[in-house]
Amino acid sequence: MQHKWNGGDGPSPLSFNGEDCHIESSPQHYSSMVDMLGRAGKLEEAEELMSQIPRQPGFSLLQSLLGACRIHGNVEMAERVADTLMRLEPMESGSFFFMSNLYAEKGDWEMVAKVGKWRRDKGVRKEVGYSWVDTGDFHPVIHSTHSLGRYVEWQNV
């Protein structure tokens, strides 16, 4: 899905109030706006909008904001968002790896090690990755982080 608004000088989409048209904003509206603001580098506005959502922000919305934080190098906000994600889904590995990668990009190797230790101490493991190979019939190829380099299991090939 491509987003047309680039966060330029035009009127802010935040100025639109659905009440004028008797439209109730859905979680998808908020998610789209947070995503667009994040892509435009307007992270504070995205976080502010997220705080106005009537219910708790959804997992994908938070992941979108976390991705924008990484793109724009905002470690402080990324830490807040990742903390919320980890409380919502404590066994989901993505936030741990995302933060580890962000710290690595910033050269903060001490925090990379700490995040890895927190993840291991909580028993959070990266999910096995799957690919598909077209051999006339599609067959899954299973890749495991722990076994990559030792073997790749081909099923029914």
CATH number, domain containing residue 112: 1.25.40.10
In a domain, 82, yes or no: yes
**For residues 131 and 150, which has the higher predicted lDDT (pLDDT)?**
131
> What does the pLDDT average to over 87-100?
90
In a domain, 3, yes or no: no
> What does the pLDDT average to over 13-25?
58
Within this chain, do residues 84 and 28 fall inside the same structural domain, yes or no?
A: yes
Supply 84's token pair: 């919320």
Single out the residue of 95, 91, 111 nearest to residue 103, CA to CA: 111
Within this chain, do residues 118 and 134 fall inside the same structural domain, yes or no?
A: no
> What does the pLDDT average to over 84-104?
91
pLDDT at residue 3 in the model: 40
In a domain, 1, yes or no: no
Within this chain, do residues 43 and 67 fall inside the same structural domain, yes or no?
A: yes
In a domain, 143, yes or no: yes
In a domain, 7, yes or no: no
Give the range among 20-24, 59-63, 86-90 with minimum mean pLDDT.
20-24
pLDDT at residue 61 in the model: 87
**For residues 152 and 109, which has the higher predicted lDDT (pLDDT)?**
109
Given pLDDT bands bounded at 50, 70 and 90, which one contains residue 139? low
pLDDT at residue 136 in the model: 67
CA 132/CA 71 separation, integer angstroms: 29
Within this chain, do residues 116 and 149 fall inside the same structural domain, yes or no?
A: no
In a domain, 147, yes or no: yes
Element (H, E) at 117: helix 109-121
Within this chain, do residues 98 and 30 fall inside the same structural domain, yes or no?
A: yes
Within this chain, do residues 118 and 42 fall inside the same structural domain, yes or no?
A: yes
The whole domain housing 150 covers 127-157
CA 62/CA 33 separation, integer angstroms: 12
For the chain, how many structural domains are there in total?
2
pTM above threshold 0.75: no
In a domain, 102, yes or no: yes
In a domain, 133, yes or no: yes
**pLDDT at position 36 over 70:** yes
